[in-house]
Copies of this chain bind each other. A is one copy, B any other.
Amino acid sequence: MDRELLLLGVLRQQGMHGYQVHEFIDRYLASCTDLKKPTAYFLLDKMAKAGWITAEQVQEGHRPPRRVFRLTAAGEAEYQRLLRENLSAYVPAYFTSNIGLAFLDEVPAAEALARLDERRRHLAAELAVAQAAPPHPGSLQWLVEHRVRHLQAELDWLDELLGRIRQRLAGA
């Protein structure tokens, strides 16, 4: 439902063919979503079938014809509906990559410290990239800003965790 909103919101500003849509999202929202190319095409097909977007075939040279997608009136209505629904509802995100924390005590503290230290480096690098990103067009900035805040909170928490493990090691 949310990816549909994203695609509708992007197409709404400008008709685009599939690769272009994916490119746009990958350029400006890489830190915020992981929408893969085949998923984008799948969703575009689905939305075309649902009548939310039209697909205008454009032939160029010998390549397979591109389809340029544009919102229909139904698509615009759906966009408005999805956007409001999305803003009103909070749907929790899940962090599969943190599952390991559930079994942290199974790893000797010294090794856990080293592993989490490596994790910290990855996280800090991610944050640096997000912060260094060029300014984003329109209100995309809100989403990216949220991302930065989240990464910062993650880093803070990881630092506290590392501190606690260090204390435990020192005490033992």
* Chain A residues proximal to chain B, CB less than 8 Å: 2-3, 5-6, 9, 29, 31-34, 82-84, 86-107, 111-112, 115-116, 118-120, 122-123, 126, 138-140, 142-143, 146, 149-151, 153-154, 157, 161
Report the bound CA distance from A138 to B149 in whole Å: 30
Provide a sorted-by-A list of 18 A–B residue pairs whose CB atoms are within 8 angstroms: A2-B96, A3-B99, A9-B102, A9-B106, A29-B102, A32-B102, A83-B103, A87-B100, A87-B116, A88-B119, A89-B97, A89-B119, A93-B93, A95-B150, A99-B143, A102-B140, A103-B139, A150-B153
Report the bound CA distance from A22 to B90 in whole Å: 24
Stoichiometry (number of copies)? 2
